[in-house]
Structure 1
Amino acid sequence: MSSSTPQATRFRQLHAQGLLLLANAWDAGSARLIESLGAKAIATTSAGVAWAHGYADGDQLPIGQLVASAASIARVIAVPLSVDVEGGYCDDPATVADNVVRLAEIGAVGINLEDGAGTPELLCAKIERIKRECAQRGLEVFINARTDVYLRGLAPAGQRVAPTLARAALYRAAGADGLFVPGLTEAAEIEAIASQAGLPLNVMLRPNLPDTATLETLGVRRLSAGSNLSEEAFAHTRAGARAFLQSGRATASDDAMGYGAINALFAEG
């Protein structure tokens, strides 16, 4: 029988009130920095974590490195942690469940688990196995089921609400706690899915996404930055490194954090 921890309870509550903003982190340093700015929870970006370890996104990261990265993040934050596990790094539900148990044992109270190019039935099997294995060990994990109907264009534009809701019903029945629909940006479609999915709706930051006040009114409960912050970090590093390699000097930046400010983030722990 699973028993709820304060962090697991808090994370679940954050999906029942207002709009939870998740500025996705990719390592312990970025997680601690984001937490220091008032984040109510930390979620990882699978792309950012993979890139930080020298792997391409898309189930390429070895599970041991993911667990180690999650453990390092859990060590430096005091807010709930959710880990993006892509497709679970395996098609075998038992192996996926074992992977998630390892994350839960080091303190993760949530995961993102996607259907990707796989079948809804496969994701259902993974969700059911995860729930069973975690319950047997007294662990609680909020499963945010991600469907890629929009992101992968699995149905024609304008006809994606129905298949998204069909998958949501399957994932809810399997035990999912939330629904993540990256690529969903149109207000009427957001409202339809939020009102009918029966699960807290998570959308991902896109240039044409409605503002946060509108999203909350439409029924969205979670907004993820995705890989955006990691991409910006790479862009800033590229610009600074290029300037240094060309001139031997650092580029001036008014908003650069100094050594002392950065070091203080970790000296406090």
Structure 2
Amino acid sequence: MTVSIFRALHHDRPAGDPLVLPGPWDAASARVFADAGYPALATPSAGVAASLGYQDGSTPRDEMFTAVARIVRAVSVPVSADVEWGYGLAPRELVGRLLETGVVGCNLEDSEHHTTMKEPKRHADWLAEVRAEAGDDLFINARVDTFLFGTGDPADAVERARLYVAAGADCVYPLLAPPEVLPALREGIEGPINMAAGPVKRSVAELGRLGATRITFGPEMQQYAIEAIGELATGLLVTTD
């Protein structure tokens, strides 16, 4: 599937029918989601990090790109990748590394090293450079970390989102925005909005009803799977006297 088709999945969606993108953390989980019929996938950096034995935000960039490429090769549906803050790469190198993996899109956040918020105009300028290098070959999902590391003020999230859309972002992702502020974000932001949900149907339905265009899950699915494996492992233990 081409980038243009992936981009089209985000537009002209009926109200209450968001695009749901599961988050594979390795090739096996990607195949499960693709076989279930999802039209595309979106890797979570935290889930991939956990699968490689790292804390979130600590994955060496070469290992992240290798893991993403492995996921892309495992499925026939398009994959978008969370590449955090871009790992300090210049826009040309970042775009080149992404395209080498075969992804059709990426998440790029406006905080650095999972701690510090970037100045929004500076980040918008950087996104514009990424867009210029990528042309139409990448779907850019601009993560807005106002509710994670910033002020938590919806007005700040809207201001940042508008700058990023003007810079060429295809979608904005106000991570950890409370569902109750989504209508205000929807009113103030033009274009698709990505919201994060837990792996339960009702949270997806509610976010869609409130105006989310796209739903992703961060590391929630990987954590859900690990908890299930933990329960299985515990249940198989045999206690002997």
TM-score interval for Structure 1 and Structure 2 normalised by the shorter chain: 0.7 to 0.9
1:41 is matched with which residue?
Answer: 40
Q: Does residue 19 of structure 2 align to residue 20 of structure 1?
A: yes
- Report the Cα offset of residue 49 of structure 1: 0.4
Q: Does residue 81 of structure 2 align to residue 76 of structure 1?
A: no
The percentage of counterpart residues that share the same residue type is: 35
- 1:176 counterpart SS class: coil
2:170 is matched with which residue?
Answer: 177
The one of 225, 238, 241 aligned to 1:247: 238
Q: Is the 8 A contact 2:179 2:210 kept in 1?
A: no
- Report the Cα offset of residue 210 of structure 1: 7.0
Letter aligned with residue 61 of structure 2: I
1:265 is matched with which residue?
Answer: none
2:6 is matched with which residue?
Answer: 11
Q: TM-score, normalised by structure 1?
A: 0.78
- Report the Cα offset of residue 208 of structure 1: 11
1:121 is matched with which residue?
Answer: 121
The one of 130, 139, 144 aligned to 1:142: 139
Matches within 5 A, 1:52-67: 52-58=51-57, 60-67=58-65
Q: Is the 8 A contact 1:115 1:148 kept in 2?
A: yes
Q: Is the 8 A contact 1:185 1:208 kept in 2?
A: no
Q: Deviations over 1:21-61 (max 9, x none)?
A: 11111011111111111111110010010111111111x21
- 1:9 counterpart SS class: helix
Letter aligned with residue 126 of structure 1: W
Matches within 5 A, 1:84-123: 84-90=82-88, 94=90, 96-116=91-111, 117-119=116-118, 120-123=120-123
- 2:213 counterpart SS class: strand
- CA distance in structure 2 between the aligned counterparts of 1:197 and 1:210, rounded to whole angstroms: 24
Q: How many residues align?
A: 231
- CA distance in structure 2 between the aligned counterparts of 1:195 and 1:31, rounded to whole angstroms: 34
- CA distance in structure 2 between the aligned counterparts of 1:32 and 1:82, rounded to whole angstroms: 15
- CA distance in structure 2 between the aligned counterparts of 1:211 and 1:232, rounded to whole angstroms: 15
- Report the Cα offset of residue 131 of structure 1: 1.4
- CA distance in structure 1 between the aligned counterparts of 2:125 and 2:48, rounded to whole angstroms: 26
- 1:247 counterpart SS class: coil
- CA distance in structure 1 between the aligned counterparts of 2:100 and 2:193, rounded to whole angstroms: 26
1:155 is matched with which residue?
Answer: 151
- Name stretches of at least 5 consecutive residues in structure 2 with no aligned partner: none
- CA distance in structure 2 between the aligned counterparts of 1:169 and 1:103, rounded to whole angstroms: 25
- CA distance in structure 2 between the aligned counterparts of 1:228 and 1:52, rounded to whole angstroms: 13
- 2:151 counterpart SS class: coil
> CA RMSD of the aligned region, Å?
2.4
Letter aligned with residue 247 of structure 1: V
Letter aligned with residue 133 of structure 1: E
- Report the Cα offset of residue 195 of structure 1: 2.6
- Report the Cα offset of residue 241 of structure 1: 3.7
Q: Deviations over 1:74-130 (max 9, x none)?
A: 11211111000111112x5x1x54133212233111101111223123422331221
- CA distance in structure 1 between the aligned counterparts of 2:92 and 2:144, rounded to whole angstroms: 19
Distance 1:239 1:207, change over 3 A: closer
Letter aligned with residue 133 of structure 2: E
Worse-superposed segment, 235-244 or 207-216: 207-216
Q: Does residue 208 of structure 2 align to residue 216 of structure 1?
A: yes
- 1:220 counterpart SS class: coil
Distance 1:176 1:125, change over 3 A: same
Letter aligned with residue 104 of structure 1: L
Q: Is the 8 A contact 2:197 2:204 kept in 1?
A: no
Structure 1 or 2, whichever has the larger Rg, is: 1
Q: Is the 8 A contact 2:199 2:217 kept in 1?
A: no
